[in-house]
Structure 1
């Protein structure tokens, strides 16, 4: 692992710790577990409730990969994470489409200008399916590099 990669892992780990603390504060004290966190999208954190779990996940992941000095393993974990996360989001939006409970009114969702009415659901589903495809390909590719 290069010095730059090691520094990047430490930076991500420290940031993850900060996100974990902020997520705990927002979720527990401020009762904002469902408040969106658009700047944390690339970590798979969409709301502050996610930050509690994924902040800890990314903290442990980065520190482990730093400790064993394995940058390729970190990249592989990121790819597998996005396979699982995007599958979960696809299932969530499929369920949301057919639910009688309106947790996310279509008119309040990003992209509603493009996909109006119930069409917003397949917009979200196909987006997450696309993320899943890219993540699966990245996982296969990175797995071939890891210990390759």
Structure 2
């Protein structure tokens, strides 16, 4: 995955929340998000991610599907409840998965599922489209 030559977009005060228990993937995504001009915030499981989201509501969420403590589906369900409690819109959510997650995500709000390994160009296009 190359991060060179990416277009920069205006920064936002709201972060992009990255949730993945694989440190190398989370750090690569954080570097990628920074190069796009956004502020990344990292969590390594759904429970950490929920606490961070409550503290600083994200502009967008990129979450893994399979994680310890609180998996991606349960994290998104909890985030949906938090958004409803706040009367706030749910941020766009991109779910990453090394396995087929389509059946497991029934009943939760996810804009896209990207299979691991994913293409950074595809992710960039998706982020740009979701944050228009």
TM-score, normalisation: structure 1: 0.28
- Larger helix percent: 1
- Larger strand percent: 2
Which entry has the higher C-alpha Rg, 1 or 2? 1
TM-score, normalisation: structure 2: 0.31
